[in-house]
Amino acid sequence: MPAAYLHGTEVIQQSDSPVAIQTVDTSTIALVCTAPIHRLDVANRKVNQLFLVANQTDASNFVGPEVAGFTGPDAIRAIFDQGGAKVIVVNVFDPAVHKTSVVSEAITLAGSPNVATLAHGEVLTAVVKNSADAITYVENTDYTLDKNTGLITRLAASAFLANATLHVSYDYADPTLVLAADLIGTVVSGVKTGWQLMLDAPELFGIVPRNLLCPVYCTQNSVAVEMIAKANTLDGHAFIDAPIGTTRDVAIAGRGPSGAINFYTSDKRAVLCYPHVKVINAAGATVLRGLGQYAAGVWAATDQAEGFWVSPSNHEIKGIVGREFQLSSRQNDPNSDINLLNAQGIVTVSAFFGAGLRLWGNRSAAWPTSTAPSNFLAVQRALDIIHESLLRASLQFNDKSLTYVMLDIIIQSTNAYLSTIQQRGGLVGANVAWRKSDNPVTELSLGHATFAIHLMPPPPLERLTFLSFTDINLLANLFRPLAA
């Protein structure tokens, strides 16, 4: 405050200029999954903790390699195949809990080297005895054990003879024991697990994840419902896959109350994905993976390369080699399979000749129940990002004196930001207004100011029509060269 007495001149700096509003992160993905953490260094094993995967090193250190039955590594690969994005991960697989015990499995070694393979790989602990269960042998003295594959190899100085029959009791990591409830999570005495943890991501990382993934388990309705709820809280989109084996007609019927799958929703935060896609896994085999994880990666890459207002549809999907089912793809045929699916709010994969496998579909599950522009994925994403950016920027205005100067700063700052987004192509038009009708003195006296924002992100050009006319009068052009 000014000094009590001053004989002279002073300058007190005041701010009456608009402030810069920065666009928030748009493409971070939320992933709740199972990861083979038993293969990681003990210090890197995270169970029901939020952690950030920003690159392949993070993925290798904290998610692990592709192992059959685990969903996390496959999802990270799908995302990074599209160009990469930040991924906030929660692993719910706990090798101390999700394990199966085998007692005295009999194996007989053979060959040279003298080896035998257990019925299960991903071994956590093992005890090897003779066939009478009277002698316990010592690992790395009598034998070696490849815990990944379950391969036991006799060593030259072993206390048991070649081609011996052994009894092995062991625990192996068993991701099939992970239940939907583990993914959905709980909050007990303030301790969160599963999807409940993801609500802490904005505070912990300063980032709101926009694309929500739970591969494999999202085919269960209970998990899909929880994902959609979290997408509404985070202002993002939940990617929901149909179960493996779902036919086109069952997928479409799933949109109705009598449907047999997890597609019965009209929530604008749900992205319904069908069918599964074919992928070559780390072992070289062709396997099926949910489209949702690839669609989320495509959208994140599109956000980064083209802008958060651009639709992910009609972008080639990298890292896949086919679709679970053949679907007819014709641009001008309303009865083609991909059009029938899109007409019911289902995102799919097109295969136009020479165009590769492309993500195909602009709309959320809100379509066709809602015809509002926000049923377009790109329109809702643009609104989400702009709203979040304005919220973040408004923190510097909160609790300042409600004066004409402050109101003018807010208006100028907001209009400048919206104008910048419009110039970049993210808005067709926008403006902010301070209206007397929205701000009665009773509200102003409570420190409550209301601004009206009008804006319209560009909808995707989903349908393009050429009107073609056969005009016989154009035959008169035949005479022009002769007349000359």
For the cut 80, the answer to whether the pLDDT of residue 133 exceeds it is: yes
Query: Structural domains in the chain?
Result: 29-94+182-377 (3.40.50.11780), 99-173 (no CATH), 402-484 (no CATH)
Average pLDDT over residues 293-313: 96
CA dihedral 292, 56, 71, 375 (to 10 degrees): -20
pLDDT of residue 483: 57
Tokens 């990298």 belong to which residue? Answer: 318
C-alpha 454/C-alpha 204 separation (Å) is 32
For the cut 80, the answer to whether the pLDDT of residue 119 exceeds it is: yes
188-242 residue pLDDT tens: 999 999 999 999 999 999 999 999 999 999 999 999 999 999 999 999 999 999 9
State what percent of residues in the chain have pLDDT above 90: 91
380-424 residue pLDDT tens: 999 999 999 999 999 999 999 999 999 999 999 999 999 999 999
Residues with Cβ within 8 Å of residue 206, at least 6 apart in sequence: none
C-alpha 399/C-alpha 394 separation (Å) is 10
Q: State the average pLDDT for the chain.
A: 94
State what percent of residues in the chain have pLDDT above 70: 96
Confidence of residue 10 (pLDDT cuts 50, 70, 90): low
pLDDT of residue 20: 76
For the cut 60, the answer to whether the pLDDT of residue 144 exceeds it is: yes
Average pLDDT over residues 130-151: 97
pLDDT of residue 26: 83
For the cut 90, the answer to whether the pLDDT of residue 22 exceeds it is: no
Confidence of residue 18 (pLDDT cuts 50, 70, 90): confident
pLDDT of residue 178: 98
28-41 residue pLDDT tens: 999 999 999 999 99
Confidence of residue 53 (pLDDT cuts 50, 70, 90): very high
Return the closest-CA partner of residue 201 out of 42, 75, 86: 86
The CA distances from residue 278 to 69, 79, 288, 347, 360, in Å, are 16, 15, 5, 16, 16
pLDDT of residue 12: 52
Confidence of residue 3 (pLDDT cuts 50, 70, 90): low
For the cut 70, the answer to whether the pLDDT of residue 142 exceeds it is: yes
Tokens 């199972």 belong to which residue? Answer: 34
Q: Higher model confidence: residue 101 or residue 11?
A: 101
Beta bridge partners of 322: 278
3-state secondary structure (DSSP) of residue 35: coil
CB 311, CB 299: distance < 8 Å: no
pLDDT of residue 9: 60
Average pLDDT over residues 335-344: 97
C-alpha 106/C-alpha 165 separation (Å) is 7
For the cut 90, the answer to whether the pLDDT of residue 17 exceeds it is: no
For the cut 60, the answer to whether the pLDDT of residue 69 exceeds it is: yes
| Geometric angle at alpha carbon 459, from 458 and 460, rounded to 5° | 115
426-472 residue pLDDT tens: 999 999 999 999 999 999 999 999 999 999 999 999 999 999 999 99
CB 378, CB 457: distance < 8 Å: yes
CB 165, CB 152: distance < 8 Å: no
pTM over 0.85: yes
